[in-house]
Structure 1
């Protein structure tokens, strides 16, 4: 199979699982998971299987990797999905803002109301 044919071929179910895990891990943590973390998360005992899937994802253009380091995987534009705002993401952002420490009453009220609305289910 030619390289071009490999690039156009869709992801297998397992490749998609590996890619989705890596993508979510990077989005949540800001850095890539290790091979071992990925294998454990997907309940695979062989790290060589994960290596194989990652190499395929790199060849297909979904990931890139910087040589010589751990946690050097990165997402490419091909595999990125549009950002989706989740309640958990909003709550994490509110906590990061440190609303208890803000001196601006308007900001405090807005963030407090947003946080309360999410927790109560008023905002879905």
Structure 2
């Protein structure tokens, strides 16, 4: 919600959106691209550090399990089409709910770890269906 408000209602947010859509035009209009890029990386680093500080204690502390946190995050981002934050958040919450429900069923408790990967594969196949059908004609 905060990022949506910042990107839509502040001058820095409008400048960031302009840089993401047409960087050359935005720079020609006088938008400070380097300064904004450094600020975005700094804010993203701070937010990522806070999120990892919250999530890491609930996970095992080996590098493999912490690195595998990227898979559910990628599935959620793919649900949002890498464009809409609200859909990515809703998709991530829905994916977490389904994983939690699968953990309650004895036969599905192991399969819940593979659910984000299955969502990624299904969404990639679904998004490429038009190209497959066009090539088949």
Instruction: State the TM bucket, normalised to the shorter chain.
Output: under 0.3
Would you tell me which structure has more helix in proportion to its own residues? Answer: 2
Structure 1-normalised TM-score?
0.27
Structure 2-normalised TM-score?
0.25
